[in-house]
Structure 1
Amino acid sequence: MKTIVKLIKSAGVAVVAGVFMMACSNALQVSYDYDSSVNLKQFKTFKVEAEHNMEQDPLLGSELNRRRLGDAVVEVMEAKGYKMDTKNPEIVVRFMTDVKDRQQVRSNNMYSPYMWWYGGGNNISTYNYQESRFILNIYQKTTERMVWQGWASGKVKAPTKKEDQNTMIKNTMADILRSFPEATADTYSRK
């Protein structure tokens, strides 16, 4: 009986800690799209660069953040088994960021049977915010055709320390690339 009580208490603490961590984390929505006619598992080498001819946000797209984004993408791709090759890559991973002004409209419908007495009605409020997007486009080098695209969007809270910012960017890139296939076991046997 005591072990069951301890188990229930442990599970309760774990659930509360998990809810607390989820409430504190950035709520970024991650999605992806790909060209189904291309076998993404055939690629072994890559290079990383900023997307061409795209207007970057002055803060998220700053030189500092472009370096952080590039470094994070390299680290995640190498962890997935790909080899960096700046001279003759099979795929080119291009990244970009932007910020969009968004508005959310909320309605608090206060109609009730007693609205004639209390003066109920429909209260409408608006909430303005900025939505950040991190976008990765992967192109096949030989055709310059986009074969995969992933993105994360949502409200990004600025980290308080440089280490937190590096970690946030790396985790975001890892989340975006989670659905991109890992390099196959024969990654280095062809070179």
Structure 2
Amino acid sequence: MRTLKKMVVCLLLGVTAVSCSVSSSAIVTDYDREAQFGAYKTFYWSDDFQMENGKEEPLFVNTLIKKRLKSAIQDEMEKKGYVMDKANPDLLVDSRIVVQTRDINTGGGYPYFPSYGHGYCHFGSYGYGYYGGYQSSQEHKEGGVVIELIE
């Protein structure tokens, strides 16, 4: 069981590291400030994991990842004192994976290549280059997990 927990932590850290490569990751929490969470004792799953855009993304959605995420969520709920109850749950746990495709466009030039410039006693010193700039476009996927507790 400890190996599974370590694998879930490593998986979550890996996904976080990949998403941090371009922009910072954010954990957003929103809840009803007047809710009495001590009154809730049981929970169950509202549905299986869903994709927000309805498309299958094999990198982020497969049965192994779903199983590990569900297990991690269940472990955390049980650590907080909640008991799983299929018949009459106080809370429903709803989860979905959100995947977005983003393009990163970069460009630049080569400022110090030999050129027809301001040389001293020779032709072709450093100056305005005859090489053009470059344009690079990369596509990557960003993913996140949304977990909702529903009364």
TM range (shorter): 0.5 to 0.7
Residue 104 of structure 1 corresponds to which residue in structure 2? 104
Residue 42 of structure 2 corresponds to which residue in structure 1? 45
- Partner SS state of residue 74, structure 1: helix
The letter for the 1-side match of 2:104 is Q
How is 1:47-62 mapped onto 2 (pairs within 5 angstroms)?
47-48=44-45, 49-51=47-49, 54=52, 55=54, 57-59=56-58, 60-62=60-62
Superposition deviation, residue 75 in structure 1: 1.0
**Which of 120, 128, 147 is the matching residue for 1:118?**
128
Conserved 8 A contact 2:50-2:97: no
Superposition deviation, residue 124 in structure 1: 3.4
Superposition deviation, residue 74 in structure 1: 0.5
TM-score (norm 2): 0.56
Conserved 8 A contact 1:61-1:96: no
Instruction: Structure 2: give runs of 5+ residues left out of the alignment.
Output: 1-12, 20-24, 118-126
The letter for the 2-side match of 1:36 is D
TM-score (norm 1): 0.46
Conserved 8 A contact 1:101-1:131: yes
Superposition deviation, residue 76 in structure 1: 1.6
Deviations 1:147-185 (A, max 9, x none): xxxxxxxxxxxxxxxxxxxxxxxxxxxxxxxxxxxxxxx
- Partner SS state of residue 27, structure 2: strand
Conserved 8 A contact 1:107-1:125: yes
Instruction: Supply the distance in 1 between the matched residues of 2:41 and 2:26 (Cα, whole angstroms).
Output: 24
Deviations 1:45-96 (A, max 9, x none): 2112425685253523333433322222111211233222222222111112
Conserved 8 A contact 1:111-1:121: no
In the alignment of these two chains, the number of paired residues is: 115
Superposition deviation, residue 134 in structure 1: 1.9
In percent, how many aligned pairs have the same letter?
22
Instruction: Structure 1: give runs of 5+ residues left out of the alignment.
Output: 1-23, 141-191
The letter for the 2-side match of 1:89 is P
Tell me which structure has the larger Cα radius of gyration: 2
| Cα RMSD, aligned residues only | 3.4
- Partner SS state of residue 57, structure 1: coil
**Which of 120, 123, 136 is the matching residue for 2:147?**
136
Which region of structure 1 is more displaced relative to structure 2, 85-94 or 97-106?
97-106
- Partner SS state of residue 138, structure 2: strand
Residue 92 of structure 2 corresponds to which residue in structure 1? 92
Instruction: Supply the distance in 2 between the matched residues of 1:107 and 1:93 (Cα, whole angstroms).
Output: 45
